[in-house]
A and B are shown apart, each in its own frame.
Chain A
Amino acid sequence: MARVTIPIGPQHPALKEPESFIVTLNGENIVNLDMRLGYNHRGIEKACEQRTYVQALYLLERVCGICSHSHSSCFIQAVEEIAGLQLPPRAVYIRTLIAELERVHSHLLWLGVAGHEIGFDTLLMYSWRDREAIMDLFASLTGNRVNYGMNTLGGVRRDFTKEQLTEVLKVIDICEERTKYYIEVCTQEPTVINRLSGVGTLSHDDAVRLGTIGPTGRASGVNKDVRREDPYLAYGDLSFNVIVDNHNDVFGRAVVRLLELMETYKMIRQIIAKMPDGPITVKAPRKVPAGEAFSRYEAPRGEDTHYVKGNGTDKPERVRVRAPTLANLQSVAKMLENNNLADLPIAIAAIDPCFSCTDRMIGTISSTGARDSIRWDNMRNYSIKWYRKQGIDFTDLNRKLAKKQE
């Protein structure tokens, strides 16, 4: 067969969200991959500017259907920093508990999706069945299965009883048992190993250069985890290991996520054992003082960052969301170099992409009022000029980095 170009997306069974990958193939080998983002842009950042902080909190919870608590916690953390609020310890622990439970259901979901992408539907059915236990737990703890609505300015909205916490422990025991089984399946079943190992290789240097984060980076030996490096919520009080793997491929990413689950179970037990008593919220002002804050949060897919700027009113002046997928997406093209078409779905799925969290749009309004989207090179030049005006010059830094690469 001659070279052919086939579109994977925006509508394709392998993709759960619309996104376009245009693949040039030589036979079955991928020669070139062209990614187009932006099919899922929803304008959430702009919408936040027209809402009060509490309204924006619920809007941001809907950035992502899987790591909803991550986005809302990350945002509220920044707002609380601007407002100078000190959270009561029980609220901190409840937030941490929800965050870790969310990691469990996100990683189990990923495992199922990965199974489906390599045609192993049994794994999908099994892991999603076990994920149901966590979803039901969320329903009984928070009232919702997906968007929990637990956070509020200055604390959390619901308190948990002793019985509820014992129930959590019970569910965690079941999940731990099942996770051990999945670790066995993924590291011993020959067809799974055949499809995962050596696929989507991303060397340590490339992972650092492309700025990959989260489990994708940790599977390439990037030893970074915000929970350990910049402890937020209750993570400073918990003891846990950061799982790092040196397989550099999809197999490594699966192993990292599965072993991370085991760490998460450990952490949930610690959280429940250490859960302090007391109030769950402090009184928060309606208007947040002027100021800005930047908050980091280890979402299941990697580091999530939010930037919030307040101007003294009850509405934020600017909210910026950097979802983990944005940091990892660039590495996909590198991973797929010289790979097989059959590996494309699993290599994309292995970064656990969430495209709707990632899609942004930058528009310019010219003096005549005509609206136009900005081109990449123009935007780059614009940003260089903007930073020079601020007295920051990246040219030297870029040269240094290039030298280091050589």
Chain B
Amino acid sequence: MSALSVILVFLGYFLLLSFLGTAAEYIDRKLYARMQNRIGPPWFQPYADLIKLAAKEDLIPEEANSAMFKFMPVLAMTAVLTAYLHIPLWNSTPLISFNGSIIVIVYLLTIPTLTFFLGGWHSTSLYSMIGAVRTLTQLFAYEVPLLLAVLSPAVLAHTWSIADMSEFYSNNPLYALTNSIGFLVALVALQGKLERVPFDMPEAETEIVGGTFTEYSGRLLAMFRLAIDMEVIVGASLIAAVFLPFGLHFGLVIGVILYLIKILFILLLLALLRTVTARLRIEQMVVFCWKYLAPAALAQIFISLTLNWIVK
């Protein structure tokens, strides 16, 4: 591919992902509102929020490290977008595919969390710093269960490439059903990664105002918001590709519709989780992740290994 076409593809994916991300934000907010017996925002609300933020002045605290402060939102968005290029959407072939791509995706999805930490830390506000420390503490809690949950289907499929994995499961759809524990673990861990209730301690407004984003404003905050919206889609796509690899061989139109249905289903589960729970304390979250999520993910790996042994 020539340099120009790479740039164009990247730009196209950026537009697609930001459209899907804002749509996901709208759907999530609407679902959340309807489940709470409210009317909820109109469809253009995420765009209105972004435009309004983009029109505002960027304020950078005097004490803050200006370069890091400005760079972090860009890095967050880039990392999320790059992860999206590796995930298969409506068929089993992503744009970039190689053996080991699933590790790269999980790694790339860790970068936004680190940028939240660094951005919060470098803005030197006390609220931001407490939020930043919580972000990092939380990362150590949900990252291992998420990785274990995503890897156990790979163990069963004998491959580290997400494309080959999708291929394997769409040829043997019954195998995908054995990964249901991993699916639930990954959903809960994704909720932690997206920092939403019950795991929204890093930005708990009643405790630490805006958390890591307290000092961010204007375009920089808009970029962070967009990055989080995109992360919802990328996370949901990853779970859909790994745990719901059904109907990948019906061509573009049906494939895209099925892809959207899967994403909507995952969004619904995430919104439901955030409607019915209260925010946990940070130490309760760590205990929950290590006491229940990690063993459940290990059990999933054990199931995959046993199946491997039986099938052989």
Contact = CB atoms under 8 A, between A and B. Distances in A.
Interface of A: 1, 4-6, 12-14, 25, 28, 115-123, 125-126, 129, 189, 191-192, 194-195, 340-345
B201 A342 contact: yes
B200 interface: yes
Interface in B122-137: 126-127, 129-130, 133
A121 B129 CA distance: 25
B227 to A, nearest CB: 22
Contacts of A120: 197, 277-279
A14 B279 CA distance: 14
Nearest to B133: A1
A5 B133 CA distance: 15
Contacts of A191: 198, 277-280
A341 B206 contact: no
Interface in B198-232: 198, 200-201, 204-209
A341 B275 CA distance: 23
Contact of B206 (A117, A123, A129): A117
A28 B130 CA distance: 8
B36 interface: yes
Nearest to A28: B282
13 contacts: A4-B129, A6-B208, A13-B205, A119-B198, A119-B200, A119-B204, A125-B38, A129-B37, A189-B278, A191-B198, A191-B278, A195-B281, A341-B207
A345 B206 CA distance: 6
B130 A6 contact: yes
Contacts of A4: 126, 129-130
Contact of B282 (A14, A123, A125, A342): A342
Given A342-B204, A342-B207, 7 more contacts: A6-B130, A12-B209, A116-B206, A121-B36, A340-B282, A342-B279, A345-B207
Contacts of A125: 36-38
Interface residues of B, number: 29
A194 B207 contact: no
B62 to A, nearest CB: 19
Given A1-B133, A12-B209, A121-B36, A115 B281 contact: no
Q: From B38, B127, B278, name the one whose CB has the most chain A CB atoms within 10 angstroms.
A: B278
Interface string B271-285: 000011111111110
Nearest to A194: B284
Interface of B: 35-38, 126-127, 129-130, 133, 197-198, 200-201, 204-209, 275-284
B8 to A, nearest CB: 42
Given A191-B198, A342-B201, A13 B206 contact: yes
Given A4-B126, A126-B37, A119 B206 contact: yes
Contacts of B197: 119-121
Nearest to A5: B126
B208 to A, nearest CB: 8
B206 A195 contact: no
Given A122-B35, A125-B38, A194 B276 contact: no
Contacts of B127: 6
Contacts of A117: 206
A194 B35 contact: no
Contacts of A341: 130, 207-208
Contact of A6 (B36, B126, B280, B283): B126
B133 A119 contact: no
A406 B130 CA distance: 40
A125 B205 CA distance: 17
Q: From B38, B129, B207, B277, name the one whose CB has the most chain A CB atoms within 10 angstroms.
A: B207
A1 B132 CA distance: 11
Contacts of B278: 115, 118-120, 123, 189, 191-192, 194-195
B37 A195 contact: no
Contacts of A25: 130
B194 to A, nearest CB: 15
B280 A14 contact: no
A195 B279 contact: yes
Contacts of B130: 4, 6, 25, 28, 341
A344 B37 contact: no
B276 A122 contact: yes
B74 to A, nearest CB: 28
Given A119-B197, A340-B283, A14 B36 contact: no
